[in-house]
Amino acid sequence: MTGTFTPGYSRRLICLGGLLLGLSICSETQAQEYVRPQPDLDKLMQELFAEPQSDQVPYEDLYETLVQLYQTPLNLNTATAEELRSLLLLSERQIAALLQHRKDFGPLLSIYELQTIPELDMRAIYRVAPFVTVVNVNPNATRGPLWQRILQEDNNALFIRYERVLQQREGYTAPDTTSSGALTSRYLGSPDKLLIRYRTSHTRDFSLGFVAEKDAGEQFVWDPAARRYGADYVSAHFVVQERGRLKTLALGDYQLQFGQGLLLSSGLQVGKGAETITSLRRSSLGVRPYSSVLESTFFRGAAATVTLARGLQATVFGSRKRVDANVQAATDTLAAFDEFSSGVLLTGFHRTASELANRKQLQETIGGGNVTYVNRDGSFTAGATAVHTSFNKALQRRPELYNAYEFRGKDNTALSINYSYGRGNVNFFGETARSASGGVGTVNGLLLSLASNVDASVLYRRYARDFHTFYGNALSENTRNINETGVYLGLKVRPVARWELSAYYDQFWFPWLKYRVGAPSQGHDWLARLTFSPTKTSTLYVQVRTRTKPYDSDADPSRLLPLPEPTVRRSLLGYYNSDVTPIFSLRTRVQGTRYQEAGGPWRTGFLLAQDASVAIGRPLRLTARYALFDTDDYDTRQYVFEQDVLYAFSVPGLSGRGTRMYLLAEGRLNRHLTLWVRYATTRFRDVDTVGSGLEEIQGPERSEVKAQLRYRF
């Protein structure tokens, strides 16, 4: 029996077994050096997401989280179950097996040792390998003072990016004069989009960085009195970790993730997708550095996490920043507020005079904390979170019936408790919260490995119509956690080697009215994906999805009020990826959509895309796509992932008829410099203009060019 051997002798048996399999895993005194492979992030994103159906999802933030996971890999010898779950790549059975292996035999000697754990098949190891490492000593203990570690860090780079639409858009033409004599609106800045980013970081040690971005149409202005400091958006952070009892200290911009994200959520939040099991659960990761270009999903101030006792940690945080809002003065002398805003604006654009007038008009102050307890073996976690949000001017939605229970006022305090219990192949988790209005939100779920080849998930959620949270993002059908009840069932089966079937069914109810839905309503969403991996370097899958949701219909003109009618969207997706040779790969994607409103005629849209990628020696890689699309209207538009320069992500929405092409070149100029250049163009058929409003282009084509330079220090 294993328990009768010493850990060292057991280790030697593991090594011997690996050698007999032809795997040079390790020796008694030294692990074999392992070079982590480059992750195929674009392929991974397509595996996690079912299909993009909107360009409003923060894909770039999700993509950047994956990049950061690669650049600051998780140490398998110290990673907790919560951290392993945050990768979204391992099942509960696999996580439990890895932790048990570590408990039985001590720290891993090499990444190759994962092959001795029966529950970890080669596909799982290949997927997780780019994001993990094996370190047997504290690497920070022998690296000198913090300032030396920052200067000596290999993960240390500066990025400069430029992009521009080549055709002239309406917003950059000379203004016209209206009938009243006023000039028409135009963009105030140049059509150039610029970004500069610097970051250096080391796992569980430190992170330091800044980002400055100017969107196309925005001005580059230095005016501190107007809170304008050159680029329109500027962000910076400094985070240190693992300083004795001080686990994390963040200064500047940061994110928070506690519980299931009912009150505080950030990072890799996939939601409902083709990964039907692991992405359902949120990981409570606490304070995280923020370096993205999204201008509304972060906190600005300070946060700290300290250890109070064994297994007990406390986090406190404070944030104050200005956000965009359209502030109005009350016209009624009996109004509750002299000044108010109908809501926070999230676009981040400040290109025109009207957009600039809304810039940073609302001051947001947030404070709160979290206490988390983890038992000795990490199987049970419980926590409590408090968040107080205050605005200097009131929020007050438009006086529409569907807004009757929306947040109204200046202050909101929300409290929550969360839990997680894992034992073997089972994990229970959940969070329940209450906002100042009295509204309650709760989400509770179960992940279960029924067998070595069968995983299941269940999640119940209920967000009251008067539950208010500003930074929550728990799983939901709505874009916000309000006015929704739902039950989600997920399943993943690997019936035979190389085959996998994943599916989910989600039933949801909306107890109160919504925008464009004038009565309580319900709907459902289901997906099934069948994946076949004939080789280690090729993947083929077919996916079907149906979503039924109600929207107001004016099909019956005799009705005084519109009646919600079911709207059905059915989609079919086929995808094939093959690394034909180590330097040449092909990807083919075909997708189609059928869309129906209120029992009317079906409308359709489809897209066919062919990708090719080739490496020309070590310094140069070329990637290209040619795509055809044909849709009946905007409702059947096709969204499709595209490869882009590092840290950028492209998901264009294509409607009408035409072609979409892009070419991406990545070249290593020397050991310090890497250059990306990307050209993309969309050509429409049977149209004279592209876009609308200030984005309108005269002609049937829209083209963009993008270049990015990285300097590694």
Q: Domain of 704: which CATH number?
A: 2.40.160.10
Range of the domain at 95: 2-133
pLDDT at 9 over 90: no
Task: Categorize the per-residue pLDDT at 164 as very low, low, confident or very high, splitting at 50, 70 and 90.
Answer: very high
Contact indicator for 247, 315 with CB cutoff of 8 Å: no
Residue 486 in 3-state DSSP?
strand
Contact indicator for 207, 289 with CB cutoff of 8 Å: yes
pLDDT at 7 over 50: no
Is pLDDT larger for residue 60 or for residue 15?
Answer: 60
> Which structure tokens are listed for 519?
């009565």
Instruction: From residue 366, give the alpha-carbon distance in Å to each of 317, 369, 386, 563.
Output: 8, 10, 10, 40
Q: What is the mean pLDDT of residues 658-662?
A: 98
Q: Residue 386: its pLDDT value, please?
A: 98
Is pLDDT larger for residue 150 or for residue 158?
Answer: 158
Task: Note if the pTM is more than 0.85.
Answer: yes
pLDDT at 306 over 90: yes
Q: What is the mean pLDDT of residues 90-103?
A: 90
144 lies in some domain = no
Beta pairing partners, 523: 508
**C-alpha span between 509 and 506 (Å, rounded):** 10
182 lies in some domain = no
Task: Categorize the per-residue pLDDT at 57 as very low, low, confident or very high, splitting at 50, 70 and 90.
Answer: low
pLDDT at 134 over 50: yes
438: left (phi over 0), alpha (psi -120 to 50) or beta: left
549 lies in some domain = no
pLDDT at 6 over 50: no
Please say which residue of 133, 154, 175 terminates a domain: 133
> Which structure tokens are listed for 460?
């119940």
Tally Cβ neighbours within 10 Å of residue 580.
13
Q: What is the mean pLDDT of residues 538-567?
A: 85
230 lies in some domain = no
Q: What is the mean pLDDT of residues 159-174?
A: 96
Look at the alpha carbons of 457, 460, 463, 465 in this order and tell me if their dihedral is positive or negative: positive
Look at the alpha carbons of 252, 255, 259, 261 in this order and tell me if their dihedral is positive or negative: positive
606 lies in some domain = yes
DSSP 216: T
18 lies in some domain = yes
- How far is CA 398 from its chain centroid? 30
Contact indicator for 533, 498 with CB cutoff of 8 Å: yes
Q: Residue 542: its pLDDT value, please?
A: 96
Contact indicator for 656, 684 with CB cutoff of 8 Å: yes
- How far is CA 577 from its chain centroid? 23
Q: What is the mean pLDDT of residues 103-117?
A: 90
Between the two ends of the chain, the Cα-to-Cα distance in Å is 51
Residue 476 in 3-state DSSP?
coil
Q: What is the mean pLDDT of residues 635-639?
A: 94
Number of domains in the chain: 2
Segment among 377-381, 408-412, 545-549, 612-616 with least mean pLDDT: 377-381
Instruction: From residue 188, give the alpha-carbon distance in Å to each of 74, 167, 346, 680.
Output: 45, 17, 20, 25
Segment among 53-57, 163-167, 180-184, 535-539 with least mean pLDDT: 53-57
Please say which residue of 133, 163, 197 terminates a domain: 133
425 lies in some domain = no
DSSP 478: S
Neighbouring C-alpha atoms within 13 Å toward the C-beta of 595: 16
Please say which residue of 133, 152, 168 terminates a domain: 133
Q: What is the CA radius of gyration of the chain?
A: 26
107 lies in some domain = yes
Q: What is the mean pLDDT of residues 637-657?
A: 91
Q: Residue 1: its pLDDT value, please?
A: 38
